Amino acid sequence: MGPLARAICAAGVAVFGLMFVAVASRIVGIVGVSSNPTSGMALVTLLGIASIFAALGWTDTAAQAAVLTVGTIVTVAASKAGDISQDLKTGYLVGATPSRQQFGQLIGASVACWAVAGTVLLLGHAYTFGSRDIPAPQATLMKTIVEGVLSGALPWGLVLSGGGLSIGSWLCGISPLSFAIGVYLPLSSMAAIYLGGCIRALYDRKRAGAAAAAGEPGVLAASGLVAGEGLAGVLVAGLVAARVAPRSMPARLDGLAGELVGLAAFAAITWFLVRAARRAD
C-alpha cells in the first residue's frame, strides 16, 4: 500500500475511532456493556473505508487487508471504551479510586489481548471458522461487506432496504439493533435468545411493575450460564486441539427421545432462572 492509502487508513481510524469511542462510552454508561453495538460500528467503518478504496480503484488483496485492519482497530477501540466506561461507572457506585482502576485496566488489557488472541487461534485450530461448528455469522457478514464493496457487487438495494426497515422499527418503538441482530443471526442462535426474552417478559408482566432491581438475581443466574457455556466451549476446543477428545461425536439420544430430553433440560433451566429471580421478591 502506498502513502496515500496509509494516510486514508490513518484518517479512517482517527475519524471513526473518535466518533465510535464516544458513542460506545455513552451507550454503556446509560444501558450497559451488553448493549454496545460493536458489530454495527465495525460495519459502518468497513463500508466507509471500503467505499473510498473502491472509488480510488484499490480492490486487491492488500486493500481488503487494509480495510479489515482499520475496522479491527476501530472495533477494539470502541470495545475498550465501553468496557472501561462500565468499570469506571461501577467503581463510582462502589466508591473506588479512578486512578487505581485505570492502572488495573492497563494490566488487564495487557493480559487480555494475549488471552483473546490465543483463544481465537485455539478455536481456529480445533475447528474451522465459517464451518458448522463455528459459523461466525458476524465475521461472514463483514467479509461479504468488504468483498462486495471492493468488487462493486454489493447489493446496495438490500443494504438500503435494511436501513429503511431499521428506521421503521425504530419509529415503531422497536430497537433497530435488536431487530437487525435477529435478522442476520441464524435461527439456531436466536431461538434460545427469543424464548428467554419471552419468558423474562411474561415474568415481569406477572410481577405487575415490580422494581427492576428485583430481577437482578435472575439476570445474574443467566449471566453465569452464558459465561459457563463460553468457558466450557473453550475447554472443549482445547481438548480437541490436543487430540484428547474427538472433533465430533454421534448423538447419544437421537430422534424423538433426544428432542424430549432437550426440552426437559430447557424446562429445567427455565425453572432455575425463574426460581432465582423470585428470591428477590
Residue 216 shares a structural domain with residue 115: no
Measured CA to CA, the distance from residue 85 to residue 90 in angstroms comes to 9
The chain-wide mean pLDDT, for the chain, equals 81
Residue with cell 435488536: 178
Domain C-terminal end among 154, 170, 199: 154
Give me the domain span that covers residue 221: 187-281
* pLDDT tens-digit map of 49-79: 999 998 888 888 888 999 999 998 998 888 8
Q: What is the pLDDT of residue 281?
A: 56
Residue 85 shares a structural domain with residue 207: no
Domain C-terminal end among 154, 172, 198: 154
- The CA–CA distances, whole Å, from 29 to 22, 88, 239 equal 11, 9, 38
Residue 62 shares a structural domain with residue 1: yes
Q: What is the pLDDT of residue 212?
A: 47
Query: Does residue 179 lie within any of the structural domains?
Result: no
Rounded average pLDDT over 222-229: 82
Residue 3 shares a structural domain with residue 101: yes
**How many separate domains does the chain show?**
2
Measured CA to CA, the distance from residue 35 to residue 27 in angstroms comes to 7
The upper half-sphere exposure of residue 278, i.e. CA atoms within 13 Å in the direction of its Cβ, equals 8
Residue 132 shares a structural domain with residue 249: no
Residue 116 identity: V
* pLDDT tens-digit map of 231-276: 888 888 888 888 888 877 777 777 888 888 888 988 888 888 777 7
147-185 burial, b if ≥16 CB within 10 A, otherwise e?
ebbbeeebeeeeeeeeeeebeebeeeeeebbebbbeeee
Q: Tell whether the model's pLDDT for residue 173 goes beyond 70.
A: yes
**pTM of this prediction exceeds 0.75:** no
Domain C-terminal end among 134, 154, 174: 154
Measured CA to CA, the distance from residue 221 to residue 276 in angstroms comes to 7
